[in-house]
Amino acid sequence: MSTLDASVDTTIRAITNGEAPGVTCTPELAKGPWQFDSTPGYGPGSSMFDVIPTGSPRQGALPREYQDASNDDLHARIRAAKKSLGERLVILGHFYQRDEVVQHADFLGDSFQLANAAMSKPEAEFIVFCGVHFMAETADILARDEQRVILPNLAAGCSMADMADSDSVQAAWEELTSVYGSEPDADGRVPIIPVTYMNSSAALKAFCGANGGIVCTSSNAKTVLEWAFERGQRVLFFPDQHLGRNTAKAMGVPLDRMPMWNPHKPFGGSTKQGLLDAQVILWHGFCSVHKRFTVGQIEQARIDHPGVRVVVHPECPMEVVDAADEAGSTDYIRRAVIGATEPTTFAIGTEVNMVNRLAAEHPQHTIFCLDPVICPCSTMYRIHPGYLAWVLEELVAGRVVNEIVVDAAVQTDALLALQRMLAAKPRD
Ligand code: SF4
């Protein structure tokens, strides 16, 4: 079996059973996610050692019939439920989702593309989001009030999004405003603007909306920072330090003007003068999937494949982005592959499900994941066809389970921050 024509899930099972060469970060990945639902944690995979915040949503027990069903049986049941629900249903699949789930999706994309895809199906009563918690929240914010958003496994959070919580960001904001005050400068720019990455809770998007701030994606982070610098003297960027640092550095912000904010230390671990000199204050957050990529892997890829084109996601650490040939969002990476007119060797630094899918879809190219250890996003991996079959059959029976509802007050301010992002235009 070649890893190119097998899903990541099948490949991990084969490695775990000793039927295929290769390495996976944990054999626990071959188990059904329901075996971890009662244990607090992100489950096996890239984020498994990250600290899960108290009060994170837990998934109740998946009914036994779905745990015991074969994949073929589950796929048949999903297809039948989809057919029965017809236009009342739209299924969204994130690029990082396993193939066994993605094959049932009506749309495949990044979190913002999928939220927009949901808006393009206003007739759909049910939006089943095969991604992680913050994505389902964003879909609920953007969807019509009558549309109901469902996350098949409530334990599918995002460890990076969970690294910034409302209380810690609010406390940081109060400390920062005690240093900066609230008076604008001679150009009318306020002392500080909050910018949150799309990968954050609805509550933090609302915090930005309420405090003159904005949301960004990995595709538009530069445009959003330009927007923020036109209106503010500096930026508090959360939760991903790497996207913030990589983007601001490419815009010419010196590294010594980008202090890190550690929420467990007074003034984030900086001096008052350091904060006064800051242009971008970076929250101490990261993605454990993208943190796995190293400069050593890039050097090895260049030795093994002379002429290789190394493309990485900007959630990777700065030294990895600097050593790569290109860095860009999942959509950028897809377009880089699709746009290559000559057979090309690509070493890609992003989640393995997406990389293997690109490899299978573009056999004219040689495409491989920079990280030779197969280690998917653990939270995305919590969505298994068993959960998808369960939520769909419940819908057919007239019951809505695992609905994600964003509080109306949060929704209003979060929408404001998202609308500012949509209105922000790149500088010429
Ligand atoms: S890949 Fe990283 S940022 Fe994306 S959902 Fe997984 S943990 Fe979160």
pLDDT confidence of residue 2: 41
Find out whether the beta carbon of 352 lies less than 6 Å from any atom of ligand 1: no
pLDDT confidence of residue 6: 85
Ligand 1 centroid from CA 110, angstroms: 11
| d(C-alpha 61, C-alpha 339), whole Å | 44
Antiparallel, parallel or unpaired: β 309-312 and 326-327:
parallel
Atom number of ligand 1 nearest to Cα 315 = 3
Angle at 56 between CA 54 and CA 62, to 5 degrees: 130
Find out whether the beta carbon of 243 lies less than 6 Å from any atom of ligand 1: no
Which residue's CA is the closest to the ligand 1 atom numbered 6? 377
Q: Which of 98, 201, 289 for mutating ligand 1's site (highest number of atoms within 8 Å of CB)? A: 289
Q: Which of 110, 62, 44 is nearest to 374 (CA)?
A: 44
**Which residues, in sequence order, are bridge partners of residue 89?**
126
Alpha-helical (H) ranges within 251-384 are: 272-277, 295-304, 318-323, 330-338, 352-361
pLDDT confidence of residue 358: 97
Region of 252 on the Ramachandran plot (φ > 0 left; ψ -120 to 50 alpha; else beta): left
| d(C-alpha 241, C-alpha 407), whole Å | 28
pTM for the predicted model, two decimal places: 0.96
Which residue's CA is the closest to the ligand 1 atom numbered 5? 158
Atom number of ligand 1 nearest to Cα 46 = 7
Antiparallel, parallel or unpaired: β 235-238 and 260-261:
unpaired
Antiparallel, parallel or unpaired: β 366-369 and 235-238:
unpaired
Fill in the amino acid letter for 181: G
Number of Cβ atoms within 10 Å of the Cβ of 254: 10
| d(C-alpha 411, C-alpha 146), whole Å | 14
List per-residue pLDDT tens for the chain, 428 residues long. Answer: 344 468 999 999 999 999 999 999 999 999 999 999 888 899 999 999 999 999 899 999 999 999 999 999 999 999 999 999 999 999 999 999 999 999 999 999 998 899 888 888 999 999 999 999 999 999 999 999 999 999 999 999 999 999 999 999 999 999 999 999 999 999 999 999 999 999 999 999 999 999 999 999 999 999 999 999 999 999 999 999 999 999 999 999 999 999 999 999 999 999 999 999 999 999 999 999 999 999 999 999 999 999 999 999 999 999 999 999 999 999 999 999 999 999 999 999 999 999 999 999 999 999 999 999 999 999 999 999 999 999 999 999 999 999 999 999 999 999 999 999 999 877 76
Ligand 1 centroid from CA 199, angstroms: 8
Which residue's CA is the closest to the ligand 1 atom numbered 8? 158
Ligand 1 centroid from CA 180, angstroms: 33
Q: Which residues of 46-66 are buried (b: 16+ CB within 10 A; e: fewer)?
A: bbbebebeeeeeebeebeeeb
pLDDT confidence of residue 214: 98
Atom number of ligand 1 nearest to Cα 132 = 5
Find out whether the beta carbon of 52 lies less than 6 Å from any atom of ligand 1: no
| First-to-final CA distance of the chain | 49
Antiparallel, parallel or unpaired: β 89-94 and 126-130:
parallel
DSSP E strands in 182-340: the ranges are: 193-197, 214-216, 235-238, 260-261, 280-283, 309-312, 326-327
Q: Which of 25, 96, 243, 381 for mutating ligand 1's site (highest number of atoms within 8 Å of CB)? A: 96
Find out whether the beta carbon of 142 lies less than 6 Å from any atom of ligand 1: no
pLDDT confidence of residue 25: 96
Ligand 1 centroid from CA 131, angstroms: 10
Is 231 in contact with 138 (CB distance < 8 Å)?
Answer: no
> And the tokens for 328?
């860009």
pLDDT confidence of residue 360: 96
Find out whether the beta carbon of 159 lies less than 6 Å from any atom of ligand 1: yes
Distance between alpha carbon 384 and the CA centroid of its chain, in Å? 18
Which residue's CA is the closest to the ligand 1 atom numbered 2? 287
Q: Which of 376, 415, 319 is nearest to 159 (CA)?
A: 376
Find out whether the beta carbon of 377 lies less than 6 Å from any atom of ligand 1: yes
Number of Cβ atoms within 10 Å of the Cβ of 304: 11
The 3-state DSSP class for residue 106 equals coil
Q: Which of 240, 315, 314, 225 is nearest to 284 (CA)?
A: 240
